Amino acid sequence: MLRRARREDTESLVAFNRSVHTYAGPGLAEAIADWTRERMTRPHPGVSPAGFTVVEDTRTGAIVSSLCLISQTWGYGGVPLGVGRVETVGTHPGYRRRGLVRAQFREVHAWSAVRGHLLNYIGGLPNFYRQFGYEPALDQQSGRAGPSGYVPALAEREVEPYRVRPAEEGDVHFIAHLAEHAAGRYLVTCRRDEALWRFELGGRDERDLDGHHLAVIESAAGESAGLLAYRGDPEAGVHAYELTPGVSWA
């Protein structure tokens, strides 16, 4: 039986996603389980328990296949458009090759049509998802990197002109405004309103696959000058680095 998930399905769905995604390794499988619990239990602007599909074996009550649909707003050349992001696609090995994933894709594509989404997106396994109408389109995890040794040391008695501090609730408007301004630099962007930035700031579990720390760059006078978003140790990877107009990147 194909149906929408309910909040009471949380632990069953978490256990299912942990077991079915073991191909990704135990660490990532556990992260996917945490991601599932986060979306099932905490208010999120783009998804709720009803955003998950589950296929249930009516003989046992067990979940044997599932995926979810997240509503997002992207920008293309500055024009906003609705996007349905598909995630956590999986089927128990004993129930594969029965068309269960195909049936769920048909279901969530219908949801997207009702929500006014102009396209659907899924990351990973591009050739597999061709059978459901998807094509490779955008690079993932792109960015710039360099050794920290390239950053010049301060001269004697010289002090840092800027500092970095954890973002707070009062920074949400600044962060949203700065991110919107920075979006004009790119052809394709994922747009976040203040509600989503507020969730990013205080709603995510630290183990969330999509989660990251938010920090504000301040001048010595305490004026907000930029944004940093990073996972764990900043040296391991910065997700976003933006500055207000007029602040030198150097």
Q: Is the pLDDT of residue 144 over 80?
A: no
Which of residues 124 and 63 earns the better pLDDT score?
A: 63
Q: How confident is the model at residue 28 (pLDDT cuts 50, 70, 90)?
A: confident
CATH class of 161-243: alpha beta
DSSP, collapsed to helix, strand or coil, labels residue 137 as coil
Q: How confident is the model at residue 205 (pLDDT cuts 50, 70, 90)?
A: low
| pLDDT computed for residue 226 by the predictor | 96
Please give the average per-residue pLDDT across 124-134, as a whole number.
87
Q: Is the pLDDT of residue 239 over 60?
A: yes
| pLDDT computed for residue 210 by the predictor | 60
Strands (E), 123-248: 162-166, 188-191, 213-219, 224-230, 238-243
The arrangement of secondary structure in 2-132, i.e. its CATH architecture, is 3-Layer(aba) Sandwich (3.40)
> What is the β-pairing status of strands 162-166 and 188-191?
unpaired
Please give the average per-residue pLDDT across 174-185, as a whole number.
93
Entry pTM: 0.86
DSSP label at residue 151: S
* Spatial separation of the C-alpha atoms in residues 241 and 120, rounded to whole Å: 27
Q: How confident is the model at residue 10 (pLDDT cuts 50, 70, 90)?
A: very high
Q: Is the pLDDT of residue 241 over 70?
A: yes
Q: How confident is the model at residue 1 (pLDDT cuts 50, 70, 90)?
A: very high
Name the nearest CA neighbour of 7 among 42, 59, 31: 42
- Maximum distance among all Cα pairs of the chain, rounded to whole angstroms: 74
- Spell out the residues 6+ positions from residue 80 whose beta carbon is closer than 8 angstroms to its own: 73, 74, 191
Q: Is the pLDDT of residue 124 over 70?
A: yes
Q: Is the pLDDT of residue 206 over 70?
A: no
* Spatial separation of the C-alpha atoms in residues 247 and 80, rounded to whole Å: 27
* Spatial separation of the C-alpha atoms in residues 116 and 105, rounded to whole Å: 16
Name the nearest CA neighbour of 186 among 236, 138, 218: 138
| pLDDT computed for residue 26 by the predictor | 78
Bridge partners for 91 per DSSP: 65
| pLDDT computed for residue 223 by the predictor | 95
DSSP label at residue 14: H
Torsion angles phi and psi, residue 104, rounded to 5: -70, -35
Q: Is 151 exposed, middle or buried (0-12, 13-18, 19+ CB in 10 A)?
A: exposed
Which of residues 110 and 208 earns the better pLDDT score?
A: 110
Q: How confident is the model at residue 244 (pLDDT cuts 50, 70, 90)?
A: very high
| CATH 3.40.630.30 boundaries in the chain | 2-132, 161-243
Bridge partners for 70 per DSSP: 85
Q: What is the mean pLDDT of the chain?
A: 90
| pLDDT computed for residue 146 by the predictor | 74
Q: Is 215 exposed, middle or buried (0-12, 13-18, 19+ CB in 10 A)?
A: buried
- Across 62-71, 78-87, 182-191, least confident range: 182-191
Q: Is the pLDDT of residue 207 over 90?
A: no
Q: Which amino acid is at 187?
A: L
- Spell out the residues 6+ positions from residue 129 whose beta carbon is closer than 8 angstroms to its own: 122
* Spatial separation of the C-alpha atoms in residues 46 and 250, rounded to whole Å: 36
Please give the average per-residue pLDDT across 59-69, as a whole number.
97
